[in-house]
Amino acid sequence: MCTLIIHELSQPHFLKRLRIALTMYPPLVLVLAIFFAVATAIAALSSPLPHPLDPLSPNELAAVRSAVLAFSLVASHPISFHYVGLDEPEKPDVLSHTNAAAATILPRRAFVIARAGGLSHEFYVDVTNTSAPRVVSHGIHDGPGFPMFTTEEQVAAGQLSREYPPFRESLQRRGLALTDVGCGVFSMGWFGKNQARRLAKVQCFVVAGGTANYYARPLEGVTLLVDVEKLVIVAYRDRAAYSVPKAEGTDYRAGKAGLPFNGAVPAPGVVVQPEGKGFHIDGHIVRWANWEFHVGFDMRAGTVISMASVHDADADLWRRVLYRGFVSEIFVPYMDPEEEWYFHTFMDAGEYGLGVSAVPLQPEADCPANAAYMDGYYVDADGKPVKSENIICVFERYAGDIAWRHTGVAGPIAPITEVRPDVTLVVRMVVTVGNYDYTLDWEFKTVGSIKTVVSLSGILEMKATNYTHVDQIRDDIHGTLIAENTVGVYHDHFITYHLDLDIDGTKNSFIKNSIIPKRNTGIRATGGAPTPRRSYWTVLYEVAETEAEGQVNINGAPADLLFVNPSKKTKVGNEVGYRLIPAGATATSLLANNDYPQRRASYTKKQVWVTPYNKSEKWVSGLYAEQSTGDDNLAAWSKRNRRIKDEDIVLWYTVGLHHVPCQEDFPVMPTISGAFELRPFNFFERNPLIRTRPPGNSPNCSCSFGRSG
C-alpha cells in the first residue's frame, strides 16, 4: 500500500497542487492543503486498480489519441485510427501480478494501428499515467495487407456513387431514382496482385419499397472500385441488368411480416431466482459457483476471456485452465466465381472488427431477465472513445439439463435415485457484420467444462436473377433459388478461436489418443479362458512433439484430443488434462490450395492447430488481414515446426459450416449453431460434483395460460 501511495503522490497533478500550496498558502493553511492532497491521493487509490488485462478505459483511449496526435512524425498528416487495443503485459508478469499477495502496478500500454500519409503506422503508447501519455515505439508496416476499415470511411465510400454520372445512368436505365438505392463497402480480397492503395468494392441495393430487408433486393450487375482513403472512384462496371426482386414478403419486422402467427406457440416462461443472481461481477472479474475469470473487450476480437480458473473442492485449490481466449477470425468465402461475386471472401474480424460490430443486447430477448450487462469502448477514426452499451451479457442458464443422475435398483429394496440439475453461466455477445448475426457464447459448467457456441442468424447474401422457378434453371447458379428472382449463394463460415490453455500451469502437451480396432486372438493376458468375442478397440497414446504433429483434421480417424500437464498427476498417476470435444460444425475448406482466398486462410484445411505461445501471434489471418496474402497467418507460422511438447502451448480451433441455403432461410434465417467443449479429463480425482447438494424446493411460479370463448 505504501508503494501505491508513493506512486500516486508522485503523479503530476499532486505535485502541481503542492507547488501552488508552497508559494501561496501560510503555514497553517499549508498543512491543511497537504492533508487535502494526500486525502485525494488515498481516495484515488480506494477505486480498484485496473487488472493487467482490463481493456483500455475511455480515459486511457483519450490519452492514446493525445500522444499519437502529438507525435512529430505524423503530426503534419491527416491521421485515421484503425485499431487501438491493450498491449497486454508479458505473460509471466501477469501471472506474477495475479499471484502476488500485495497489489502491484503493471505498466498500461496500448497498441495502435493508424493510417497517415498513405502508410500504416504502428505505435506503442504508455498510458500508465494518463496525464502524461507517451509514444514508446513507432514503426511503419511495409508488408502486404491493410488494417480494418473504419466505419467512417465505409460510410463515405458508400456515398461516392451518388455524384457519379455513369452510376446515375445505370439507375435511369433500370427505372430507379437515386433515393431508391443505398450502397456499401465490400472488401476486395487478394488475387495475386499486391495493392499500394487501399481499394475496395462498392455494391448497391434497392432500399425503396417499404422493406427493411435491402439485402434481399440487390442491384445486380453493378460494381464500383473505390479508393477508400482518397475517396475517389477508380473503376466502374455495369455488366448486365437483372430483375430486382420484389419487396413483398422480404420484411422481417414485427407487424410487417404478416399477421401474427395463430398456431400453437410455447407458453410464456420466466427465470425465477429467489435468492438473486448467483454470480458476482467485480470490474471485469466474474465469480460464479466454482469458476473465476476475467471478461475483456477488444475492437477486433470482441469478447476476450482470460484467467479462467476452476475451484477444486476436494483439494481446496483454484486451478487455472485458460489464460486467454477469443475469436481470432471469421472467414466467409462465397462460392460464386462470377464477376460481381468472386471477391466475396470476407475476413470479418480482420476487415470489419467484431468488437466494432457488436450490437446492444435486447433484454429478455437476446438475454434472459436474470442477465447482467457490460459495456465496451473502442475508438472512431478520429481516435475518440466510443461507448457501446450492453454489448456483453452474463446470465445463469436453467435449461432443465441434468448434471448427473442414477437410479439404483438392488433386490427388494426401494430404488435409490440421486439427481443433480445442471446450471451453467453464459457470457454472450452478438456481432452483426453486414448481413450476418453471430451470437458468440462462452458457457461455464460446474463440472469444470468450458463450452463455446457460435450461432448464426441474420440475412443471406442474395443474388438477383431472372429465374422465377427451378424448372427454368439449366446451369449452375452457385446457390439455391429461394424466392422469385432470388438466389441464396452457397458459402462457408469458418470461426477460428485462439485458446491459450494453461492446464494447471503453463507447461502443457498435446496428446492424440487414437482409437484403434483390434481383433481378438483369444489369448488372455490375465490367464482367463478364451471368449467368443472377435474384436474390440483400444487406445494408441501419441504425444505431439512439434507443430506438424499438432495439426488434426477431426473428421479423420476417431481420436480423443487431450491437453495435459505432464508435471501434474492424479493420485493414481494419470496426467491431469482437458479433452477437446467438437460438437458439430466440423467442416473444412474445400477450396483448392492454390486458390487465392484459400492461401489467405490456409489454416481452414484443418480444425485443430497447436503452436507454442507467442505474444505476437494473436490473429490467425495475420495482423493486416485486409488484402492479406497468407504470408503472415497461422499456417505460415507453423512452417517453423516448433516444439510443442511440455511447452506453453496455444490451441487454435475452427468451427466450420458449409451453408447450402434453403427457402426456410428466407427472408431471415433461423439460428443454426456449432460448438466445441473443453472438458476435464483426469483433471480432478473424481466427479467434482459428487458433493453437490440435492435440489431443494423452489417456489412454484407456473401459471396456466388458456384461451376463453
Q: What is the pLDDT of residue 274?
A: 86
SS (H, E, C) 218-256: ECCCEEEEEECCCCEEEEEEECCCCCCCCCCCCCCCCCC
- Sequence-distant (6+) residues with CB within 8 A of 441 are 426, 427, 428, 451, 452, 453, 454, 455
Range 254-257, long-range pairs (CB < 8 A, 24+ positions): 256/211, 256/212, 257/667
Q: Cα–Cα–Cα angle for 216, 222, 224, nearest 5°?
A: 115
Half-sphere exposure at residue 259, Cβ-oriented, CA atoms within 13 angstroms: 2
- Sequence-distant (6+) residues with CB within 8 A of 173 are 241
Question: Helix (H, G, I), strand (E, B), or coil: what is residue 528?
Answer: coil
- Sequence-distant (6+) residues with CB within 8 A of 254 are none
Distances (CA, A) of 544 to 324, 499, 651, 676: 22, 17, 13, 21
Three cell numbers at 696? 431443494
CATH of 58-141, one of 3.30.70.330, 3.10.450.40, 3.40.720.10, 3.40.47.10: 3.10.450.40
SS (H, E, C) 107-155: CCEEEEEEEECCEEEEEEEECCCCCCCEEEEEEEECCCCECCCCHHHHH
- Distance from C-alpha of 215 to C-alpha of 172, rounded to nearest angstrom: 21
- Taking alpha carbons only, the member of 462, 456, 510, 516 closest to residue 484 is 462
- Sequence-distant (6+) residues with CB within 8 A of 518 are 535, 536, 537, 538
Considering the domain 151-257, what is its CATH architecture? Answer: Roll (3.10)
Q: What is the pLDDT of residue 409?
A: 86
Scan for cell 432470388, then name that residue: 486
Distances (CA, A) of 178 to 141, 203, 300, 327, 620: 39, 14, 34, 39, 41
- Distance from C-alpha of 427 to C-alpha of 419, rounded to nearest angstrom: 26
How many whole angstroms from its chain centre is CA 428?
10
Q: Can you spell out the DSSP letters for 444-513?
A: EETTS-EEEEEEEEE---EEE-S--SGGG--S--SEEEEETTEEEE-EEEEEEEEEEE-TTSS-BEEEEE
Distances (CA, A) of 219 to 59, 162, 246, 436, 485: 44, 14, 12, 19, 12
Q: Which amino acid is at 585?
A: A
Q: Can you spell out the DSSP letters for 373-386?
A: EEEEEEE-TTS-EE
- Distance from C-alpha of 525 to C-alpha of 112, rounded to nearest angstrom: 64
Do the two domains 58-141 and 151-257 of this chain adopt the same fold?
A: yes
- Distance from C-alpha of 495 to C-alpha of 653, rounded to nearest angstrom: 8
Q: What is the pLDDT of residue 264?
A: 67
Q: What is the pLDDT of residue 42?
A: 45
- Sequence-distant (6+) residues with CB within 8 A of 532 are none
Half-sphere exposure at residue 36, Cβ-oriented, CA atoms within 13 angstroms: 10
Q: Cα–Cα–Cα angle for 434, 436, 442, nearest 5°?
A: 120
Question: Helix (H, G, I), strand (E, B), or coil: what is residue 362?
Answer: coil
Three cell numbers at 709? 370463448
Would you kindly state where each structural domain of the chain is located, as residue ranges?
58-141, 151-257, 279-358+386-400+423-521+533-681
- Distance from C-alpha of 647 to C-alpha of 280, rounded to nearest angstrom: 34
Residue 346: φ, ψ to 5°: -85, 145
- Distance from C-alpha of 631 to C-alpha of 636, rounded to nearest angstrom: 6
- Distance from C-alpha of 331 to C-alpha of 436, rounded to nearest angstrom: 12
Q: 279-358+386-400+423-521+533-681 belongs to which homologous superfamily? A: Copper amine oxidase, catalytic domain (2.70.98.20)
Scan for cell 494473436, then name that residue: 618
Contact 190, 602 (CB under 8 A): no
Q: Cα–Cα–Cα angle for 557, 560, 562, nearest 5°?
A: 135
Contact 511, 541 (CB under 8 A): yes
- What amino acid positions are annotated as catalytic residues? 348, 436
Q: What is the pLDDT of residue 523?
A: 66
Structure confidence by residue, pLDDT tens digits, 394-425: 999 999 999 999 999 877 778 899 999 999 99
Q: Can you spell out the DSSP letters for 656-698?
A: EEEE---GGGSSSEEEEEEEEEEEEES-SSS-TTTTPPPP---
Contact 625, 352 (CB under 8 A): no
Please report which helix (H) or strand (E) contains residue 6, including its range. Answer: helix 2-9
Instruction: Enter the pTM of the model.
Output: 0.91
Q: What is the pLDDT of residue 472?
A: 97
- Distance from C-alpha of 510 to C-alpha of 543, rounded to nearest angstrom: 6
- Sequence-distant (6+) residues with CB within 8 A of 611 are 547, 550, 617, 634, 637, 638, 642, 644, 649, 650, 652
Residue 691: φ, ψ to 5°: -100, 10
As averages over each run of 10 residues, the pLDDT of the chain (709 residues) reads: 38 44 46 47 53 97 96 82 98 88 79 96 97 96 97 97 96 96 97 94 96 96 97 97 95 84 74 89 97 98 98 96 98 97 98 98 96 98 98 96 91 86 97 97 98 98 97 97 98 98 98 94 72 92 97 93 98 98 95 98 98 98 98 97 98 98 97 97 96 75 40
Residue 195: φ, ψ to 5°: -100, 135
Half-sphere exposure at residue 654, Cβ-oriented, CA atoms within 13 angstroms: 32
Q: How many CB atoms lie within 10 A of CB 629?
A: 19
Q: Which amino acid is at 697?
A: N
Structure confidence by residue, pLDDT tens digits, 40-94: 444 444 455 789 999 999 999 999 999 999 998 776 679 999 999 999 999 999 9
- Taking alpha carbons only, the member of 198, 325, 346, 288 closest to residue 678 is 325
How many whole angstroms from its chain centre is CA 77?
33
